[in-house]
């Protein structure tokens, strides 16, 4: 906006100066006289023009231009989250188990050699009948008795184990390789009958007599009594399992002498067809 007027004024002044120059020249005589004044006028005109031009140019240069710099944005640093180093857990090395092959134990085998045989609740004839067997039945010996030569067997045709006399079976294998088996009597849970009452024992020398009251049972259920007794005979501690077939026998006599380190004694059971009734301890008199 400032540059355009200054330029127009400049050319106007320049034009006037040129016109005056030509006018002055044209008015001079053909034979010029030295020291004439018009030359001086031209110089004055040129000086004036030069001054004006310089002033105008100076004004153009001196026009202030204010530039307001825009502030540079200061970047804001966002702090990064601090990472807490986590120690890597050491992997647990699980050792591969070594497979050890254990040979399968070969239980001794039995075959019934009698036309009929009884498999009982315990390792003696005094125990209650549990299963019936016939000739040719087979099974294995699971255990042996601690105080007799009977076998605890599992017959192929039976659901449970029972005790067999060694005289009614043929054996294949060594029965001594099996463990001693405890006797576990089948205790009746019917609640029909109670244990014997008034159980007493008296001694006369080496004889001990045991008595008790009758346990009344139906004829169908009646299986008598069973006495599990240990006595001393000739210095030996002897196991004497004894049974009576019916409820009417209410006494038993045993020989028991001195000379054993273990005390004699035993238990009395009433027996019915569903099993043994809870036992009563016999108050055994000591030997003198």
Q: How far apart are CA 128 and CA 122, in angstroms?
A: 8
Determine the pLDDT at residue 100: 64
Least confident of 29-33, 162-166, 198-202: 29-33
Using pLDDT thresholds of 50, 70 and 90, give the confidence band for residue 19: low
Average pLDDT (100-114) is 86
Q: Which string of b and e fits 149-176 if b means at least 16 CB within 10 Å?
A: ebbbbbbeebeebbbbbbebbeeeeeee
Regarding predicted confidence, which is higher, 93 or 287? 287
CATH among 2.30.30.40, 2.130.10.10, 2.40.50.180, 1.10.3720.10 for 109-177: 2.30.30.40
Q: How far apart are CA 62 and CA 28, in angstroms?
A: 43
What is the domain class of 200-281 according to CATH?
Answer: mainly beta
The pTM of this model reads 0.63
Residue 149 to residues 190, 246, 249, Cα–Cα distance (Å): 33, 27, 29
Average pLDDT (192-217) is 97
Q: How far apart are CA 254 and CA 202, in angstroms?
A: 11
Q: Where are the beta strands (DSSP E) in the chain?
A: 109-112, 116-120, 129-134, 138-144, 151-155, 162-164, 169-172, 200-204, 207-211, 222-233, 236-244, 251-255, 265-272, 275-276, 280-281
């Amino acid at each position: 906006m400032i540059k355009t007027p200054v330029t127009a004024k400049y050319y106007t002044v320049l034009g006037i100066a040129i016109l005056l120059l030509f006018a002055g020249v044209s008015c001079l005589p053909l034979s010029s006289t030295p020291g004439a004044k018009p030359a001086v006028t031209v110089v004055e005109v040129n000086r004036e023009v030069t001054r004006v031009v310089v002033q105008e140019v100076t004004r153009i240069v001196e026009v202030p231009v204010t530039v307001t710099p825009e502030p540079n944005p200061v970047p804001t640093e966002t702090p990064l989250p601090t990472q807490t180093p986590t120690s890597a857990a050491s992997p647990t090395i699980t050792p591969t188990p070594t497979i050890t092959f254990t040979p399968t134990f070969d239980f001794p085998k039995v075959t019934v050699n009698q036309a009929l045989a009884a498999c009982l609740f315990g390792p003696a004839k005094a125990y209650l009948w549990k299963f019936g067997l016939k000739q040719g039945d087979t099974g294995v010996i699971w255990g042996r008795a601690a105080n007799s030569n009977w076998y605890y067997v599992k017959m192929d045709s039976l659901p449970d184990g029972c005790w067999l006399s060694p005289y009614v079976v043929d054996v294949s294998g060594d029965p001594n390789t099996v463990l001693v088996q405890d006797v576990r009597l089948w205790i009746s849970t019917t609640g029909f009958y109670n244990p014997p009452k008034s159980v007493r024992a008296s001694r006369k020398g080496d004889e001990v007599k045991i008595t008790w009251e009758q346990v009344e049972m139906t004829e169908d259920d009646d299986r008598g009594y069973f006495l599990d007794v240990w006595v001393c005979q000739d210095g030996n501690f002897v196991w004497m399992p004894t049974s009576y077939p019916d409820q009417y026998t209410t006494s038993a006599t045993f020989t028991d002498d001195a000379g054993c380190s273990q005390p004699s004694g035993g238990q009395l059971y009433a027996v019915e067809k569903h099993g043994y009734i809870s036992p009563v301890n016999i108050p055994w008199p000591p030997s003198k």
